[in-house]
Chain A
Amino acid sequence: MTAQEVRLCGLLLQEHFGEVVEKVGTHLLKSGAQNLRTIIHETGLSVDLVKKSLCVLVQHGATTFSSGRKGPGSPTEYHTSCDRILRILRYPRYIYTAKTLYGDTGELIIEELLQRGHTTMSSTVKTVADRLTQNMAEGRTMDYTEVSLTFSKLVETHFLQRCPPLPGVGNKDSSAPSETPATPGTPAAPVNTAPPTPESFPECYKVPSVTLIGRGKRQLASEDGEEQRSAKRAKMDPETHGDEGIYWQVNFERFHLHFRDQTIISAVANKLDQTSSEIVRTMLRMSEVTTSPMATCTKPLSANEIFRSLPPSYNILRPILDQYLTLLVDDPMEFVGKAGESGGGMFVVNLHRALANLARATLESVVQERFGSRSARIFRLLLRKRHLEQKQVEDFAMIPAKEAKDMLYTLLSQNLVQLQEIPKTPDYAPSRTFYLYTVNQLPTARMLLQNCYKTVANLIERRLFETKESKRLLEKSQRIEAILASLQASGAEPEQLTEVEEMITAPEKQQLDTLRLHINKLDSAENQVDETIFLLESYINSTNASS
């Protein structure tokens, strides 16, 4: 929970949930787990607002509550973590992935769930069907069963999961599905300090049998239609569909695994060629179900199996496949490794090593873009050779001494390179001490990750600043658009429309265009920085898991 993370989380909460939730959220982030009274007292907000904000945060999974530290009698404590809030940056990517995999229906389901946090299957299906019906041609409506089918597919492939039932609050007794499946022998469950993960419950991915029969409703433009609809809705709400109390949430980890696979495949395609990437894609697809999320590499696959599972459009010969596999194994990026000789050769995809190499490539490109290609050469040299003296750096990098010294000192001041002293004598006499330059990949990656968080926070702040500067102009243009829309709806003449359009003068229009361009650029930049954040986070998490 570094200062940069807290700052970024605050900005994200402010943009998506409002300033009240931002205040409560940042307070919880900075001060750890607290109970309700302390939060009310320290933030100085009204009781109702604090309660509502906590509800919103819990609803979206950003905050968890548990009974207090002093035992079951003490007031409930609320704990917020940065990770969940930082995911908000990645929402567009999740929605886009769902679109590529499951079409528009999948896209809208994921969008609904991301907007609402935790919802039931029936309400999601209804809302999504209505939205799809809106966009369809006149007279056609979306059937609920189609949407339910897509929902079930998302659950089967683990992109959606059930929200874990709460241990203490509510009707469920504590002897319900064990929170630690690894220790089935313990009769009395001790007080859990860590909250149970959703995956530890056996029914995590089970689709409930829901009776949902109907079609999406199109929102009618006339007043009478709306009244009828709201009357109908009031009648429909008490209807139960058999899945009360079962709430679903998006399974971010599964999306992350998918992104990781995509990154590896595209890296192979960039480095080698399309066919190699297809082979790696096949291998990853085959091991999707058998690989655990924290695994270092996939289960070994024999070359025969790979050959049989290749997509039919790629009819390459068996010896060619063997050559490709050998090429992949020999590649210095170590994406694919050989695990044995049986079955024509057993091959694995080295997931953690691939992530480490991709992170290394990211660091190298950062140095290259900031300091130039010669500094990047020095950096890569130090990554390969670990420890080098200054003289050796100059020789290996083939850079004149003075420039090499300058570059090394610049990198040193930016903390990308570290200096290690090795004394020859017990007194650290400078003339008798080795000074070695070195690069540590993991701490450098962590530092760059914090820089990325700071970057995104700066981008958001700049965007808010630009919007605030031109607030008056934006409001004016919004009003004019509203007028235009209403005029067009009521069927006006083109002269009237042009007259309204001319209310915005030409320089104002230009100003609006530049503003639109800037905001789009800043938003787009946030998306791209998030890709780097994902890569560095995955690398750091993979080292945590294996260590």
Chain B
Amino acid sequence: MLTAANRATTRCWRSASPGVQVWRCSGSALTAERICVTHPSAMAAHGRGQRTLSFTMETVKGDAPPPSVQQPTPVFPVMEQKPLPLTGGEEAEYLLALKQDFRGAMRSLPCFIQPLVTNRDVERYSDKYNRSEQMDKLLDWAPDWKRFPRELRVHVRKPARDSVSAAVQSPPPPQMKKKGVKDKEEVLLKLESLEKKEEQETSEDEEGETKKKQEEEEAEGEEEYDEEEFEEETDYIMSYFDNGEDFGGDSDDNMDEAIY
């Protein structure tokens, strides 16, 4: 640790022995002063500014300098004194409960924003419904836009599921006129992206509708088959299977034609 003494730019008085100069190292933190006895030329690389030269009482008294430490301090150093236990009591427990409740409540509020994480490893059926849930959450919160700068206004439109015409709801034109000249490019970009979104949504909706219709038809078709199958509770579709009762019972009388 660099103490005030280290930073003081004090000049050292040359020690009695001319060959050895005592310099103070900066940068090691464990014990108070680190005295490295090195050759002056080795310290040249560190630059002149770091040369803080002062003796301490220790060296004056002639004790051996403590060894310097070459590595950073351990992450979990051993503590000589154990810390005190936490204060328990009713108040502390109530505060704890309040804290955890508050955290939980904040997660369910609309101001808790989480980006739409698209796990596109496997397309799941529930994606369609999860997306709509998140949109609902965004819509929930409608702050008083007068208190915010105009540029922060975000227009979130409901995805049209009932009718295709509803998807044509674009942000109302008067809002466009209010934007200044500087934002024109932004507006154009936004319009393009919105158009793309609309197309995607309408196409997705159309696809969804057609898919739904197909599924309905298939379901109806399958029901007819199901009735036949489940008569005898077998895995095989009855109409394909010929159980051979008719075999050999047709024409026992006329043996003119060969039976293959």
| Residues of A near any B CB (own CB < 8 A) | 15-21, 36, 45, 47-49, 51-56, 58-60, 65, 75-76, 91-93, 95-96, 111, 114-118, 163, 166, 169-171, 245, 247, 369-372, 390, 408-410, 412-415, 418-421, 427-431, 435, 520-521, 523-528
> B residues within 8 A CB of A45?
115
> A residues within 8 A CB of B5?
418-419, 421, 435
Interface of B is mostly: loop
Q: Is the CB of B3 within 8 A of A20?
A: no
| Residues of B near any A CB (own CB < 8 A) | 1, 3-5, 8, 10-13, 29-33, 54-57, 59-60, 80-81, 83-84, 86-87, 91-92, 94-96, 98-100, 102-103, 105-106, 109, 111-115, 138, 143-144, 146-154, 190
Please name the residue on chain B nearest to A77 by beta carbon: B149
Which 3 pairs from chain A and chain B are nearest by CB?
A: A409-B32, A430-B55, A92-B98
Roughly how many angstroms separate A459 CA and B91 CA in the complex, as a whole number?
Answer: 20
Point out the residue from B87, B102, B111 that lies within 8 Å of A17, measured CB to CB. Answer: B111
Q: Is the CB of B81 within 8 A of A372?
A: yes
> A residues within 8 A CB of B95?
92-93, 96, 524, 527
A510 CB, min distance to chain B CBs, angstroms:
21
Q: Is the CB of A247 within 8 A of B144?
A: yes
> A residues within 8 A CB of B59?
430
Q: Is the CB of A59 within 8 A of B143?
A: yes
> B residues within 8 A CB of A421?
5, 8, 10, 54
Q: Is the CB of A372 within 8 A of B1?
A: no
Roughly how many angstroms separate A111 CA and B98 CA in the complex, as a whole number?
Answer: 9
A93 CB, min distance to chain B CBs, angstroms:
7
> B residues within 8 A CB of A415?
1, 3
A19-B115, A369-B84 known, 17 other contacts, Cβ within 8 Å: A15-B106, A16-B103, A16-B106, A20-B113, A55-B143, A55-B152, A92-B99, A96-B98, A115-B102, A115-B105, A245-B144, A414-B1, A419-B3, A435-B56, A520-B96, A525-B86, A528-B92
Point out the residue from B84, B113, B144, B148 that lies within 8 Å of A18, measured CB to CB. Answer: B113
> B residues within 8 A CB of A166?
147
Known contacts A419-B3, A419-B4, A428-B10, A19 near B146 by CB under 8 Å: no
> B residues within 8 A CB of A527?
92, 95-96, 99
Roughly how many angstroms separate A45 CA and B154 CA in the complex, as a whole number?
Answer: 15
Roughly how many angstroms separate A15 CA and B103 CA in the complex, as a whole number?
Answer: 7
What would be 9 A-B contacts, judged by CB atoms less than 8 Å apart? A18-B112, A51-B151, A52-B154, A115-B105, A166-B147, A414-B1, A418-B4, A421-B5, A523-B99
> A residues within 8 A CB of B81?
369-372
> A residues within 8 A CB of B33?
409
Q: Is the CB of A118 within 8 A of B29?
A: no
Q: Is the CB of A420 within 8 A of B4?
A: yes
> A residues within 8 A CB of B3?
412-413, 415, 418-419
Roughly how many angstroms separate A47 CA and B152 CA in the complex, as a whole number?
Answer: 10
Roughly how many angstroms separate A116 CA and B11 CA in the complex, as a whole number?
Answer: 61
B6 CB, min distance to chain A CBs, angstroms:
9
Roughly how many angstroms separate A94 CA and B207 CA in the complex, as a whole number?
Answer: 53
Known contacts A17-B112, A52-B154, A115-B109, A413 near B149 by CB under 8 Å: no
B113 CB, min distance to chain A CBs, angstroms:
5
Known contacts A20-B113, A114-B102, A96 near B4 by CB under 8 Å: no
Known contacts A93-B95, A430-B60, A76 near B113 by CB under 8 Å: no
Roughly how many angstroms separate A369 CA and B106 CA in the complex, as a whole number?
Answer: 36
Roughly how many angstroms separate A17 CA and B55 CA in the complex, as a whole number?
Answer: 54
Please name the residue on chain B nearest to A60 by beta carbon: B111
B191 CB, min distance to chain A CBs, angstroms:
13
Q: Is the CB of A413 within 8 A of B106?
A: no
Roughly how many angstroms separate A427 CA and B102 CA in the complex, as a whole number?
Answer: 63
Please name the residue on chain A nearest to B2 by beta carbon: A415
B149 CB, min distance to chain A CBs, angstroms:
5
Q: Is the CB of A76 within 8 A of B149?
A: yes
Roughly how many angstroms separate A65 CA and B12 CA in the complex, as a whole number?
Answer: 54
> A residues within 8 A CB of B154?
48, 51-52, 55
Q: Is the CB of B115 within 8 A of A20?
A: yes
> A residues within 8 A CB of B147?
58, 118, 163, 166, 169-170, 247
